[in-house]
Structure 1
Amino acid sequence: MSKPGYVYLMASGHNGTLYLGVTSNLVKRVWQHRNGFGSEFSAEYACRFLVWYEAHDDLQEARQREFRMKKWKRDWKLRLIEDHNPDWQDLFVSIAA
């Protein structure tokens, strides 16, 4: 049985710096970002708000999706966020409950 995975976008704020990642434990990983342990990039640019995520049944599928999205233009990522989270709310509250 494969392990589930998540592709996610963290932001420093509305239309701010974006960080794209993949993980098998979304709550833990987002907590790490929020507390400056997620990555050097996200810590340096204060990418502490979960603004979009997508669940996958298989971690490898999630990794492939992340790989493709890394090639996306910024505008495409912004549109994805706006389509699913137009107010740029921090989604951590909804996944950590």
Structure 2
Amino acid sequence: MKTAQNPHFVYIATNKRKTVLYTNCTDDLDSQMDLHRKQIIMNVRTFTSKYKVCYLLFYQRCIDAREAERRKTEIKGWRRSKKMELIYSMNPELEFLEIPTKEESHPI
């Protein structure tokens, strides 16, 4: 059972060619990225499936769901160039990231 104290994540994912940026939030980053991959395989009609978005470029751990939702909304309002600056600040090589463990992810 998930509690109110579970960390939440804001993340930006992309497709293989890095032409699409998808911003969302979740309390289970591993399961969410797995869901994106499964939706592509199953050809489910979603934005992430249509554009084959399943590669993690950026994540930020938040204290709770409210903070994650606020941060997601903020980032979604940015131009692509500002989102790219944020991604480069964490991931300067634009590598596809592994899902962080609880020890690796730090709250904002």
TM-score for the superposition, normalised by structure 1: 0.84
Aligned residues: 95
| Residues 7-16 or 46-55, more deviating | 7-16
Question: How many Å apart are 1:7 and its aligned residue?
Answer: 0.2
* In structure 1, C-alpha distance between the alignment counterparts of 2:79 and 2:45, rounded to whole Å: 21
Match of 2:65 among 52, 59, 82: 59
Report the AA paired with residue 77 of structure 1. K
Q: Does 1:95 align with 2:93?
A: no
Q: Which has the higher helix share?
A: 1
RMSD: 2.1
Contact 1:5 1:55 in 2 (8 A): yes
Deviation (angstroms), 1:41: 0.4
Q: Measure how far apart 1:3 and its partner are.
A: 3.3
Match status 1:30 vs 2:36: no
Confirm or deny that 1:84 pairs with 2:70.
Answer: no
Q: Which residue of 2 aligns with 1:42?
A: 48
Gaps of at least 5 residues in structure 2 are 102-108
Pair 1:11-2:17 in alignment: no
Q: Where do 4+ consecutive residues of structure 1 move more than 2 Å?
A: 34-39
Report the residue type matching 1:11 in the other structure.
T
Note the C-alpha offset of 1:14.
Answer: 5.1
Unaligned runs of 5+ in 1: none
- Work out the percentage of aligned pairs sharing the same amino acid: 27
After TM superposition, give the deviation of residue 80 of structure 1 in Å: 1.0
